[in-house]
Amino acid sequence: MTVKSLQDLLNEGVEGRHVLVRSDFNVPLNDAREITDAGRINASLPTIKALVEGGARVILMAHLGRPKGEVNEKFSLAPVAEALSEALGQYVALAGDVVGEDAHERANGLNDGDVLLLENVRFDPRETSKDEAERGEFADQLVALAAENGAFVSDGFGVVHRAQASVYDVAKRLPHYAGTLVQKEIDVLKKVVENPERPYVVVLGGAKVSDKLGVIEALAAKADKLIIGGGMCYTFLAAQGINVQKSLLQEEQIDKCKELLATYGDKLVLPVDLIAATEFGADAENKVVELDGIPEGWMSLDVGPKTVEKFAGVLKTAKTVFWNGPMGVFEFEAFSKGTRGVAEAIIEATANGAFSVVGGGDSAAAVRLLGLDEEGFSHISTGGGASLEYLEGKELPGVKVLES
C-alpha cells in the first residue's frame, strides 16, 4: 500500500485550494504562557512553507494539553499563532473557535498563501470521542472549512497513534497526503525496525515501567542491549531485592520485572550506582550512593557516575541506537548528569558512524534544555508515544488511514 506525499499534492497543484493540515503544536509552556521548547513548531515549518509557496490557503489544526473537551484559556493556541507568525515571517491568524462562525469567516476570507490556525481542536469533546459517529460529525465540520476541492495533509507525527477526528476521520473524507515530517519520521523508524545495523542498543527511561512494558518486551527480543534508567529502573532494582526507599516504585510491576530479568538476563543493562536526594526538589541535599545505599527516607532522582560510565561503554560499540526517556529528573541541574552523560555517549557513537534516533517526548526536550547539539543525533523524533508504538509493532491509525 502506498501513501501519497506532500510532493504528490504539490505536483497536483494547490494554488487557490484550501488545505487542512493536522500539525502537532503540543508545546510546553511556562507559567507566563511562553513556549519553552519550540521543537515541534520548528519541525512543522517545511510542510507549511511548501504549501504557502504553492499558493495554498492553509488551515492548521492542532491541540495543546488536555482541556478535556472544554474551552479553557489556559490551553489556547494563541502563543503558537504568535510563534508561527514569527517563524514564517507572515501573519498567522488564530480563529476564535474551532468550527464555529469565526473559523468559517476566516477560512472563507483566506487568500492564496495565507495561513489560519484553528483554536485547540480538543476544546471540542468530539475530537477524542470513542464514538465514531460523534467524531465523524466533528470531522464533517472541519472538512466544511476546506470548501470544495480541499485536501488534507497529516503532519503531526506526535498524534498519528490516535484515531481522533482531526487525525483519522478527516483523512477519510478528503484526498489525503503525508506531510514532510510524518514521511520523514516513518522512513527513519522503518530503518530501526526493519533492518537495524548491529549492535543495536535501546536506551529507555522515563517514569513508569507500566507505560513501557510492551515496548520493553518487543525491543528486548530485537535489540542486542536494552539500557534501563529513569524512574522505571527502581522497579527493576526492587525486583532484584534492592531497597529503593522512597524512589518512584510500581510495586504491582515487580513480578513482571523479575520475569523480564529472568527471560532477558544480560540483555538488560541496569544502574550500578545512584544519586540519592532528601526530597524531590532542585535544591534537595543529594549524594552518590551504591544501589543498596539510599539513606532511609531518601529517594533516588538520577543514575550515578559509575552507571553513566557503564551505559557509555555499551553505547560505544553500538551501530544503531534508539533512546526514549531521560535517566533522571533532568529539569533539576543536580539530577541532570545521568541524562547528559548518556546523551553525550550517543552523540559520540553517532560521530563514530552509529545511526541514532531520539524518540521524542522528554528525551527531545532534554536535548534542547541541556544545550546539547541536536545535529549530534541522526534524528530527533517529535512523537514520543507514536515512535514507541511504531517500534513496538503496533498499527498507527493516523498512518494506516493515509494508505491508498
The pLDDT tens digits of the residues spanning 214-257 come to 888 889 989 999 999 999 999 999 999 999 999 999 999 999 99
pLDDT band at residue 206 under the 50/70/90 scheme: confident
| Residue 353 burial class via C-beta count within 10 angstroms: exposed 0-12, middle 13-18, buried 19 and up | exposed
Over 90: is that where the pLDDT of 147 sits? no
* pLDDT per residue as tens digits for the range 256-278: 999 999 999 889 999 999 999 99
Is 145 strand, coil or helix?
Answer: coil
* pLDDT per residue as tens digits for the range 31-52: 999 999 898 999 999 999 999 9
- Where in the sequence of the chain do the CATH 3.40.50.1260 domains occur? 6-181, 196-392
* pLDDT score recorded for residue 2: 84
* pLDDT per residue as tens digits for the range 170-199: 999 999 999 999 999 999 999 998 989 999
Give the helix/strand (H/E) hosting 94: strand 92-94
How far is residue 325's CA from residue 303's CA, in Å, rounded to a whole number?
13
The answer on whether 26 is annotated among ligand-binding residues is yes
The answer on whether 63 is annotated among ligand-binding residues is yes
| Residue 303 burial class via C-beta count within 10 angstroms: exposed 0-12, middle 13-18, buried 19 and up | buried
- Residue 59 near residue 106 (C-beta atoms within 8 A): no
Match 541522526 to its residue by C-alpha cell: 378
* pLDDT per residue as tens digits for the range 325-342: 999 999 999 999 999 999
- Take residue 144 and report the three cell numbers written for it: 466544511
Is 316 strand, coil or helix?
Answer: helix
The answer on whether 212 is annotated among ligand-binding residues is yes
- Which residues, listed in sequence order, are joined to residue 275 by a DSSP beta bridge? 288, 302
Contacts of residue 313, defined as CB under 8 A and 6 or more positions apart, other chains included, come to none
Mean pLDDT for 371-381 is 94
**Phi, psi of 379, rounded to the nearest 5 degrees:** -160, 135
The answer on whether 393 is annotated among ligand-binding residues is no
Sequence-ordered alpha helix ranges (H) in 178-329: 180-194, 209-222, 233-239, 254-264, 305-316
The answer on whether 25 is annotated among ligand-binding residues is yes
How far is residue 232's CA from residue 208's CA, in Å, rounded to a whole number?
5
* pLDDT score recorded for residue 212: 82
Catalytic machinery residues: 40, 208, 361, 385
The answer on whether 55 is annotated among ligand-binding residues is no
* pLDDT score recorded for residue 383: 85
How far is residue 366's CA from residue 359's CA, in Å, rounded to a whole number?
11
> What global pTM score does this model have?
0.88
- Residue 356 near residue 379 (C-beta atoms within 8 A): yes
pLDDT band at residue 1 under the 50/70/90 scheme: low
Per mean pLDDT, which range of 104-108, 153-157, 359-363 is the poorest? 359-363
How far is residue 318's CA from residue 197's CA, in Å, rounded to a whole number?
9
* pLDDT score recorded for residue 269: 97
Mean pLDDT for 205-211 is 81
> How many Cα atoms occupy the beta-carbon half-sphere of 74 within 13 Å?
8
How far is residue 317's CA from residue 315's CA, in Å, rounded to a whole number?
5
Give the helix/strand (H/E) hosting 200: strand 200-204
Contacts of residue 270, defined as CB under 8 A and 6 or more positions apart, other chains included, come to 228, 233, 236, 237, 240
196-392 has CATH 3.90.550.10 classification: no
Orientation angle between helical segments 305-316 and 337-351, nearest 10 degrees: 20
Average pLDDT, the chain: 95
Map 336-392 to HEC letters: CHHHHHHHHHHHHHHHCCCEEEECCHHHHHHHHHCCCCHHHCCEECCCHHHHHHHHH
CATH-assigned architecture of domain 6-181: 3-Layer(aba) Sandwich (3.40)
**Phi, psi of 227, rounded to the nearest 5 degrees:** -85, 130
Contacts of residue 226, defined as CB under 8 A and 6 or more positions apart, other chains included, come to 201, 202, 204, 216, 219, 220, 264, 267, 268, 269
* pLDDT per residue as tens digits for the range 61-77: 999 999 999 999 999 99
CA distances in angstroms from 372 to 31, 41, 273, 320, 347, listed in the order given: 25, 19, 24, 20, 9
Over 70: is that where the pLDDT of 150 sits? yes
**At 40, which amino acid appears?**
R
- Residue 183 near residue 8 (C-beta atoms within 8 A): no
The answer on whether 65 is annotated among ligand-binding residues is yes
- β-strand 286-290 against 273-277: which pairing, if any? antiparallel
